[in-house]
Amino acid sequence: MNQKSIFLKIAFALVLFTCLGHTIGTFMKIPPEQVAVANAQMVLENTMVPLPMGVHKSFADIFLGNNISVSVYLFITGIIFLVISGVKQFDPIVKKLLLINSFGMAMLSVISILYFFPLPAICTGLAAVFGFASAFLTEK
């Protein structure tokens, strides 16, 4: 197994770990001692937002949909890292796809550090670094 493949499998593992944590966190129940969080959740569930075409959704529905979208994005990005790890020789299209994938992880890392907490930022940031490193490693 070459260094590119190892780096991309590490990136895959980091993204999958983040995806699993994010997905589990999305569906976890609010602990009973977190009264303020439970109250805020009730407000989100009862505040309706008029959307285009006459549809009304609660803020809670919108946040849930957004969270599920992030989990799907993480899963697909991880799979792309895994699939590319099996490519023996990178042609320009594979390299571009890897760079785009890595850039997406880098941006998610920045968003995570600004708006959430360090663990997903570290995992997605490292995945981006491993992805970029794989894209620029020279063929032997």
Which is nearest to 13 in space by CA: 63, 85, 99? 85
Predicted confidence (pLDDT) per residue in 52-104, tens digit: 888 899 999 999 999 999 999 999 999 999 999 999 888 999 999 999 999 99
Rounded-to-integer distance, Cα 22 and Cα 8, Å = 21
Rounded-to-integer distance, Cα 98 and Cα 134, Å = 8
pLDDT bin (cut points 50, 70, 90) of residue 137 is confident
pLDDT for 28: 94
